[in-house]
């Protein structure tokens, strides 16, 4: 039997994860079945389980990928001459507040499976730790440059931001906003900017404003978005 190349394995894994995003958009996490996912990916049950032991493992990987994309873009932007990582963090929060909330919904609905099984609880715990481990050092860099208040506990601040967006994602998943995800997100963003940024730091209006065009992370885009 010929050996399967790493490129082929990566392509199949990508195919499964792309299909998962399509199914998430169409059905919501709780209602996605393995059968639907396999039909969307055009793969067999055996192939799926070779890559992901469970649906929880798949969506944990997907959530980590979406978040890692954010971290990579933020670090790249902050490394540019004259750039500010603190302003980059605020811009990322603004994008989260105003764009299609697919990523927030994906992570929030995944976490709603906390009590479904021991495996789900462990996967969610790993995701929580991943978020703090990835973003707290960036917030620490912003504190060192003076754009984020230095008296804040970086780990706890990241966890608070995560909790806020998790709550917005859960509400969006149930479609029970009296206003909208974006309107509530705008208020959250204004309050966060007030609490995170030292008083002597001036924020330009465009930093926290909706950005025209697609969100910087193409994985968040939904062809069905308004």
Q: Using CA atoms, how far apart are residues 38 and 128, in angstroms rounded to an integer? A: 28
Would you state the pLDDT for residue 223?
A: 42
How high does pLDDT run on average in the chain? 82
Q: CB of 188 within 8 A of CB of 168? A: yes
Question: Which of the residue ranges 33-47, 79-93, 100-114, 207-221 would you say has the lowest mean pLDDT?
Answer: 207-221
178 compared with 79, residue with greater pLDDT:
178
Nearest by Cα to 139 from 119, 116, 123, 156? 156
Lowest mean pLDDT among 34-48, 77-91, 129-143: 77-91
DSSP-assigned letter for residue 191: H
Residues 148-182 pLDDT 10s: 999 999 999 999 999 998 888 888 877 788 998 88
Nearest to 131 by CA among 66, 77, 190: 66
Q: Which CATH architecture has domain 1-52?
A: Orthogonal Bundle (1.10)
Angle at Cα 79 formed by Cα 75 and Cα 83, nearest 5°? 105
Share of the chain above pLDDT 70, in %: 88
Q: What is the pTM of this model?
A: 0.76
SS3 content of the chain, % helix, strand, coil (to 5): 70, 0, 30
Cα gap 209→180, rounded to integer Å: 16
The three-state (H, E, C) secondary structure of 102-129, written as one string:
HHHHHHHHHHCCCCCCHHHHHHHHHHHH
Q: How confident is the model at residue 14 (pLDDT cuts 50, 70, 90)?
A: very high
Is residue 112 within 8 Å of residue 30, measured between CB atoms? yes
- The class of domain 55-220 in CATH terms is mainly alpha
Q: Using CA atoms, how far apart are residues 169 and 147, in angstroms rounded to an integer?
A: 27
Looking at per-residue pLDDT, the higher value among 95 and 42 belongs to 42
Q: What are phi and psi of 28, to 5 degrees?
A: 80, 150
Q: How do the domains of the chain map onto residue ranges?
A: 1-52, 55-220
Q: Which residue has the higher pLDDT, 209 or 221?
A: 209
């Amino acid at each position: 039997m010929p050996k399967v190349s790493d490129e082929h394995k990566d392509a199949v894994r990508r195919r499964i994860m792309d299909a998962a995003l399509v199914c998430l958009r169409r059905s919501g996490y709780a209602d996605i079945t393995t059968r639907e996912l396999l039909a969307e990916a055009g793969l067999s049950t055996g192939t799926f389980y070779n890559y992901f032991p469970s649906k929880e493992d798949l969506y944990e990987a997907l959530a980590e990928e979406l978040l890692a994309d954010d971290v990579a873009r933020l670090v790249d932007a902050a490394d540019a001459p004259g750039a500010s990582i603190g302003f980059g963090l605020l811009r990322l929060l603004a994008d989260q507040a105003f764009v299609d909330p697919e990523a927030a919904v994906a992570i929030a609905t995944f976490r709603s499976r906390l009590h479904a099984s021991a495996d789900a609880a462990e996967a969610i715990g790993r995701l929580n730790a991943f978020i703090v481990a990835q973003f707290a050092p960036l917030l620490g860099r912003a504190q060192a440059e003076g754009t984020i208040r230095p008296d804040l506990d970086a780990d706890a601040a990241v966890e608070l931001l995560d909790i806020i967006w998790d709550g917005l994602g859960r509400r969006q998943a149930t479609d029970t906003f009296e206003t909208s995800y974006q309107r509530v997100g705008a208020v959250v963003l204004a309050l966060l900017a007030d609490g995170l940024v030292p008083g002597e730091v001036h924020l330009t209006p465009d930093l926290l404003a909706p950005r025209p065009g697609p969100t910087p992370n193409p994985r968040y885009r939904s062809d069905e978005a308004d």
